Amino acid sequence: MTTSTATTESTMQFGIFTVGDVTTDPVTGATVTEHDRIKATVAIAKKAEEVGLDVFATGEHHNPPFAAPANPPVLLAAIAAQTQRIILSTATTLITTNDPVRLAQDYSYLQHLAGGRMDLMLGRGNTGPVYPWFGKDIRNGLDLAVENYALLHKLWREELVTWKGRYRAPLQGFTATPRPLDGLPPFVWHGSIRSPEIAEQAAFYGDGFFSNHIFWPKEHTARMVELYRRRFEHYGHGSADQAIVGLGGQVFMRKNAQDAIREFRPYFDNAPVYGGGPSLESFMRETPLTVGSPQQVIERTLSFRDYVGDYQRQLFLIDHAGLPLKTVLEQLDLLGEEVVPVLRKEFAALKPAHVPGGPTHAARLAAVPPRAAAAATESVSDRWTGTRAEDGNPAAVA
């Protein structure tokens, strides 16, 4: 059996994610090159491990103004070679436009290179034109997410796959290589901001559900997580409070809250995803965006538990909107030195013993063989429609 280098701890995980945007710095007027942005992303990931964070995640984009990788395993493999402990993940893997066979092979390969310290988050992305670029129709987005993951799930668990679907060529006795490390497929998160169907999909498979938790008020996030938890229990994976939940969020910190707001305001006002909309103060009030002191970030993050319950992974966006690398590295120092140690202690003290911690390869491997309930799900795992898993979808399977 292969020895994994992933941590065996089963505690709450803290990390960062990047969307890899190449945005002009509104203060200096400078725009980094794609090359410099890519190299900076590697430096940020290495710094995240240095300051004691658990996870680094990258988005997937195929167009300007992003330098996030079109093929995330390339970036994550490079980071894996330069780190020892940190879990490497995607912040979005486009399950709709990527071929499931290629995903199965690429991420199994990465799993071996990283010694198991990786997972991936599936999503539909935020760029509509990506669908025709890859010969897909955006109107089929949800159906593609359902069918493609049904095949990916099967490819990682069966050595000889015979399959027929609506959106790709059929397979006959196909084996995806390499096989998953230690026979254990990578852990999968299903990421969504607004689609209850994705929460349902995550619940059906017993996978993790990641709510980006950036643009929407807490009431929306609470409803999505509650749906996932309730359906997770319905499908027999455990009690609702044992469901695996991750949250996103964006923070900007300085020792003094007024300094943080003053410094971050021009970046917020000109950000591709924020600029031209509500004011910084309105966004801070209505969404989880937190700009202030480390103590304010601690208090705000702890409040998330009040409406989503105990959860397993918290990722922060800290490098968006043209922020210079020096500033991003300073944010990481604050996270590692002043914020995350307190959050670890506080969340651990509140978490009941029966609620699992963040998923790691080693911890999951120690739990093999899977529970009987998971085995029962496996027998019908490809018969899922997008709304009611128990109804089945014969058109999507052989």
Q: Which class for 164: exposed (0-12), middle (13-18), buried (19 or more C-beta within 10 A)?
A: middle
pLDDT band of residue 3 (cuts 50, 70, 90) is: very low
Would you give the DSSP letter of residue 139? G
Listed in order, strand segments (DSSP E) in 118-275 are 119-123, 161-163, 171-174, 187-192, 208-211, 245-247, 251-253
Q: Which of 267, 350, 261, 259 is nearest to 301 (CA)?
A: 350
Q: Topology of 13-396 in CATH?
A: TIM Barrel (3.20.20)
Kindly report the number of other CB atoms within 10 A of residue 276's CB atom.
Answer: 8
Contact 345, 60 (CB under 8 A): no
Contact 135, 144 (CB under 8 A): no
State pLDDT tens for residues 29-85: 999 999 999 999 999 999 999 999 999 999 876 677 777 666 899 999 999 999 999
State pLDDT tens for residues 382-397: 334 343 344 444 333 3
Cα–Cα distance for residue pair 136/188, rounded to 1 Å: 23
State pLDDT tens for residues 111-124: 999 999 999 999 87
Give me the pLDDT at residue 19, please: 85
The domain segmentation of the chain, as residue ranges, is 13-396
pTM of model > 0.95 = no
Q: What percent of the chain has pLDDT over 90?
A: 69
